[in-house]
Amino acid sequence: MTDIDTDTAADITPVRRFWEDLGLPGLIDVHTHFMPANVMDKVWAYFDAAGPKIGRSWPITYRLAEDARVDRLREYGVLRFSSMLYPHKADMAAWLNSWAADFAAHTPDCLHTATFYPEPSAADYVTKALDSGTRVFKSHIQVGEYSPTDPLLDPVWGLLADASVPTVIHAGSGPAPGTFTGPGPVAEVLARHPRLPLIVAHMGMPEYEQFLDLADRYDNVYLDTTMAFTHFVEEQMPFAPEARPRLRDLQHKILHGSDYPNIPYPYIESLDALARLELGEDWLRAVCHDNAARLFGLG
């Protein structure tokens, strides 16, 4: 698989121009991936092979060394980003959390990220992650092939609700449905833990409107824009034009995410896709910076 060539200056300049024209101090990206090198290599190999949870050609645009990937985000003017990482089996999450804690310690502009899996030790290592200063968690229902309603996760959701620490949850059925994807299981979790802070990844694609309903219903449910509205996604999972006014109504609950570095197009497309919605500069400022700054208590 051949990666997209992104000349450094041509790649960086339009991103900086985007937020500068909005009068922002920079961007906040709540959905970026950093993980141990051997895990990232396996993720990239899966994308290269267009695995069954992908189902289409997916070139990795930013297949760079870890330091170069961090530097590129800083050159874009991304003030804060995350290290979304996730287990696909038991006895993996605690090790990933240890790696992520070290990464956050030497990368101060990264929001300290952690993860979990339905296993008896989950509540213990989530407590440890919270005590160590984790700011955001990642739950990948599709890759992990587990239900968020698993009884082993109930104490985890309770801990996160009490701590008011959000989880970015990939629960939508895109790019391909899984056994436990869709809004139903998430709605069950929220019915039991109505104060739980969740950030629905990818706007919940393709069940956009059902996840918007959850954001309407629950004060602490947000959505991130990761890959949504891009030309790549609109080809197969378009957002209904008639639902666009709901994006304005929920302006305060939508956060910019990119999926960097694992995207099949340049970073600027994650921003241009938002501008093409024509919801106005106030909406763009809220989504690209202000909402996340408020949620994470950033200056």
Task: State the CB neighbour count (10 A cutoff) for residue 267.
Answer: 27
The identity of residue 231, as a single letter, is H
Q: What is the rounded CA–CA span in Å between residue 55 and residue 265?
A: 17
pLDDT digits (tens, 9 = 90+) for 21-66: 999 999 999 999 999 999 999 999 999 988 777 878 899 999 999 9
Beta-bridge mates of residue 138? 115, 168
**Whether residue 2 has pLDDT greater than 90:** no
Give the architecture (CATH level 2) of 8-295.
Alpha-Beta Barrel (3.20)
Listed range (49-53, 72-76, 224-228, 254-258) with the worst mean pLDDT: 49-53
- Using alpha carbons only, how large is the chain's radius of gyration in Å? 18
* Burial of residue 49, with CB atoms counted within 10 A of its CB: 0-12 exposed, 13-18 middle, 19 or more buried: exposed
**Whether residue 298 has pLDDT greater than 90:** yes
What is the reported pLDDT for 1? 38
Q: What is the rounded CA–CA span in Å between residue 188 and residue 184?
A: 6
The residue-averaged pLDDT of 279-291 equals 98
What is the reported pLDDT for 55? 74
pLDDT digits (tens, 9 = 90+) for 117-173: 999 999 999 999 999 999 999 999 999 999 999 999 999 999 999 999 999 999 999
Q: What is the rounded CA–CA span in Å between residue 226 and residue 172?
A: 12
DSSP 206-243: T-HHHHHHHHHH-TTEEEE-TTTTSHHHHTTSPPPGGG
The residue-averaged pLDDT of 252-260 equals 98
Q: Average pLDDT over the chain, rounded to whole? A: 96
What is the reported pLDDT for 93? 98
pLDDT band at 3 (very low <50, low <70, confident <90, very high): low
Q: How far is the first Cα of the chain from the last one, in angstroms, to the nearest whole number?
A: 41
Residues near 68 by beta carbon (within 8 Å), at least 6 away in sequence: none
Q: Do the beta carbons of residue 254 and residue 225 sit within 8 Å?
A: yes
pLDDT digits (tens, 9 = 90+) for 175-204: 989 999 999 999 999 999 999 999 999 999
What is the reported pLDDT for 267? 98
What is the reported pLDDT for 138? 98
Q: Do the beta carbons of residue 94 and residue 125 sit within 8 Å?
A: yes
Q: What is the rounded CA–CA span in Å between residue 147 and residue 83?
A: 22
pLDDT band at 7 (very low <50, low <70, confident <90, very high): confident
What is the reported pLDDT for 224? 98
DSSP 156-172: HHHHHHHHT--EEEE-S
Q: Would you state the structure tokens that stand for residue 166, as one six-digit string? A: 């959000």
